[in-house]
A and B are shown apart, each in its own frame.
Chain A
Amino acid sequence: MRDISNIMDTLRMIDQQHLDIRTITMGISLLDCVSEDPRRCCDKIYDKICRRAANLVRTGENIESEFGIPIVNKRISVTPMALVAGSCDTKNYVPFALAMDRAAKDCGVNFIGGYSALVQKGMARGDEYLLQSIPEALASTQIVCSSVNVGSTRAGINMDAVARMGRIIKETAHLTRDTDGLGCAKLVVFCNAVEDNPFMAGAFHGVGEADSVINVGVSGPGVVYHALQQCKGQSFDVVAETVKKTAFQITRMGQMVASEASRRLDTPFGIVDLSLAPTPAVGDSVARILEEMGLEVCGTHGTTAALALLNDAVKKGGVMASGHVGGLSGAFIPVSEDEGMIAAALDGTLTIDKLEAMTCVCSVGLDMIAVPGDTSAETISAIIADEAAIGMVNSKTTAVRIIPVEGKTVGDMVEMGGLLGSAPVMPVHGASSADFIARGGRIPAPLQSLKN
């Protein structure tokens, strides 16, 4: 006998607590699109994406309607473009981004990721040209996302690449200054990037993956928040147990949608990403979950511990609910995309330094942070280096998605629009890191023993 209250619980989660599937992302390998002729290569890229993802959006919409669960985004990730374009006889990689943009728009998806390079140890010719082209590629496309992996636990940190990324971010902000540096919201700098991440802007389709694959990202900060409201004043044992149970339910839904999409699209199921991904909507915030645990404002003392508990409990609950878990799988703390984070940043309690500490215990990193337009490229590089060091030493993925907004300064608001939300411009330290960044070279890979 079916329990009517269970059914009503599910409906309440969807209607009132913003439960949704955040994204169905189809990963597509472009390794068979290589060609010496760049135009031919672009044509092959366009054709393959359109062929594989032709039914992605329609299938997503059908699942949405039949199961009654919103699927917010349908997206595509592709093989890091530096690997594909590296074979071409050209130095200008912008046409590859344009081909991705055109294919993604024709398929009806809202983002395509994979304008990417993996340069944690060094740069090949294709990586060089791709990095050079990032600002123009992001300025001349609408829905292409770019990512660069500059470090890993096994390889250390490529500080030459870190230095370049600071300049690339500045240039991207300049070229997209009419939209408050929107280009930077589509550019992620990683350490320990994962190959099966379904979330933008950092998604790409790794070379160890199948020809095409379906990855699903779930959401549900609102559901966790609501569940925690029922255990006010109780011990952390109860909090952890409640988060685990809720994460299990959310992930089961993601697993079901992933299996269904995989079957209908005749594409192998890859992973479910367990990340708690917030949106700017009230009631869908990770910061509010932390505050519900007893913090007056997110960012005050105790925030890192609260986040550590949340992140771990989400994984423990989610792992059992899914056949294969992967991607980034943790709590996201993007400032502009989280109503509670925005409020905490405006309040002055949440600072970049505290966010950096929080990234030690959660997925992913300094995400969607607006900083003053006069922040130097070296300072941005130094922020990236700090974040990459956290990822490298702790064997986890970290990332930086930072927006130096031209013409804006601390206290101004930046409107990104839609799911990207809005962010207050946050202060950075004024003391220079220029000589540190100018050194270049590599920071060696860390010891994996003698851990303290």
Chain B
Amino acid sequence: MKAIVTVVGKDQVGIIAGVCNTLADENINVLDISQTIMQGYFTMMMVVDLSACATPFDRLSAKLSAFGEGRGLSVRIQREDIFDAMHKI
């Protein structure tokens, strides 16, 4: 199963490293990353593969948002289908 991880917040050292470490701990493979500064905010999107991850989705989601909370970042993971549904015919 593929999912999209999004990170939005104040730019700082170590965001990508931190998110990637968290994902690596859960055996999640990163397929694609794109990152930009939008309206002054660090904005990152990652496409990830969850097929080798054993952690239930809600726990994973909680772990990522916990990582973000201490750093003033909004980090979340959602199944990619929702974005495909809205933006592709």
Contacts and interface: CB of A to CB of B under 8 A. Distances in A.
A249 interface: yes
Interface string A3-14: 111111111000
Contact of A253 (B38, B45, B86): B86
Given A65-B61, A253-B85, A2 B47 contact: yes
Q: Give the interface size bracket for A toward B.
A: 20 to 34
B34 A4 contact: yes
Contacts of A256: 81-82, 85
A7 B4 contact: yes
Q: Give the interface size bracket for B toward A.
A: 20 to 34
Interface in A1-55: 2-11
How would you classify the secondary structure of chain A's contact residues: helix, strand, loop or mixed? Answer: helix
B86 A252 contact: yes
Contacts of A11: 6, 8
Nearest to A68: B78
A10 B80 CA distance: 12
How would you classify the secondary structure of chain B's contact residues: helix, strand, loop or mixed? Answer: strand
A260 B85 CA distance: 12
A10 B86 contact: yes
B25 interface: no
Given A3-B87, A253-B82, A65 B57 contact: yes
Interface string B42-79: 01010100000000011001000000000000001111
A253 B86 CA distance: 6
A66 interface: yes
Interface string A247-266: 00100110110001000000
Given A7-B45, A253-B82, 16 more contacts: A2-B32, A2-B34, A4-B43, A5-B38, A6-B87, A7-B4, A7-B83, A8-B38, A9-B87, A10-B83, A65-B57, A65-B58, A67-B81, A68-B76, A68-B78, A252-B86
